Amino acid sequence: GEDVEQSLFLSVREGDSSVINCTYTDSSSTYLYWYKQEPGAGLQLLTYIFSNMDMKQDQRLTVLLNKKDKHLSLRIADTQTGDSAIYFCAESSNDYKLSFGAGTTVTVRA
Amino acid sequence: DTGVSQDPRHKITKRGQNVTFRCDPISEHNRLYWYRQTLGQGPEFLTYFQNEAQLEKSRLLSDRFSAERPKGSFSTLEIQRTEQGDSAMYLCASSLDGGGSPLHFGNGTRLTVT
């Protein structure tokens, strides 16, 4: 939606780190999520963070939240070919209606 | 836990026909959601249920659309008199009650209206 913005494309070399950025406009956003979508499939939940947190790490994934700037990022360490997909940022100020960005297509090159 | 299941995966229909999609949520999840995704866009909220009660509907959900969850388990989404603009991926998701419990999505039903 127009309330959540992401860059459309990211190309990264295999083994490098990927950083996907997202900005949102709703200052009352409480819940922020990252989803992954592979071709023809639904959305796979990767990780999520609450607005009272600055950072969350889960294996190769690190989420950073700058609430002042309304900026969310997802870092994928040691990017693999299986990480090629579309990544969606989503925010919610309640706990049922998510607003999604248009998605960032990540391409991992050998 | 087999995840959220949607049926059919693909549906091709002629304009003016009615279609119905089914969603089976994760068994212990009380909440069920319908979202719609068009090409190159993120999903957009359509409606959601808390058990069998439909609590909110988006303005995207015109009078031709109706969703039900009669026993608080599976849900159906019906589109009457389909139009070409209805062509999209219809995604179902489920979650535990509130508190930011994350939504778990199914693989969707891709609808093509010719």
* DSSP characters over A24-44: E--TT--EEEEEEE-TT--EE
A82: helix, strand or coil: helix
Does B100 contact A at CB distance below 8 Å?
yes
Q: What is the pLDDT of residue B36?
A: 97
Mean pLDDT by groups of 10 residues along chain B of 114 residues: 91 98 96 95 95 92 94 95 97 88 94 98
Predicted local confidence at residue A1, as pLDDT = 46
- Render each residue's pLDDT in chain A as its tens digit; 110 residues: 458 999 999 999 999 999 999 999 988 888 999 999 998 889 999 999 999 999 999 999 999 999 999 999 999 999 999 999 999 999 998 878 899 999 999 999 99
Q: How far is A87 from chain B (nearest CA, A)?
A: 10
pLDDT recorded at residue A73: 97
Instruction: Provide, as residue numbers in chain A, all residues whose Cβ is less than 8 Å from the Cβ of B94.
Output: none
CB contact under 8 A, B107 and A41: yes
pLDDT in tens, B6-26: 999 999 999 999 999 999 999
Q: Does B57 touch chain A (CB under 8 A)?
A: no
Give the pLDDT confidence score for residue B99 in this predicted structure. 74
The residue of chain B nearest to residue A9, with distances taken between CA atoms, is: B40
The answer to whether B90 and B109 are in contact (CB under 8 A) is yes
State the nearest Cα–Cα gap between A68 and chain B, in angstroms. Answer: 21
> What pLDDT sits at residue A2?
55
> Cβ contact (<8 Å) for B105 and A45?
yes
* B104 CB within 8 Å of a chain A CB: yes
Question: Taking CB atoms and an 8 Å cutoff, what residues of chain A touch B26?
Answer: none
Residues of B in contact with A22 (CB under 8 A): none
- For A59: left if phi > 0, alpha if psi spans -120 to 50, otherwise beta; the answer is left
The pLDDT of residue A95:
73
Q: Do B101 and A102 touch (CB under 8 A)?
A: no
Residue A64 CB burial class (10 angstroms; 0-12, 13-18, ≥19) = middle
Tokens found for residue A109: 């090159």
**Helix, strand, coil content of chain A in percent (nearest 5):** 5, 55, 40
Give B24's contacts in chain A (Cβ within 8 Å). none
Is B41 within 8 Å of chain A by CB?
yes
DSSP string covering A9-22: EEEEETTS-EEEEE
What whole-number distance in Å separates Cα of residue A69 and Cα of residue A4?
13
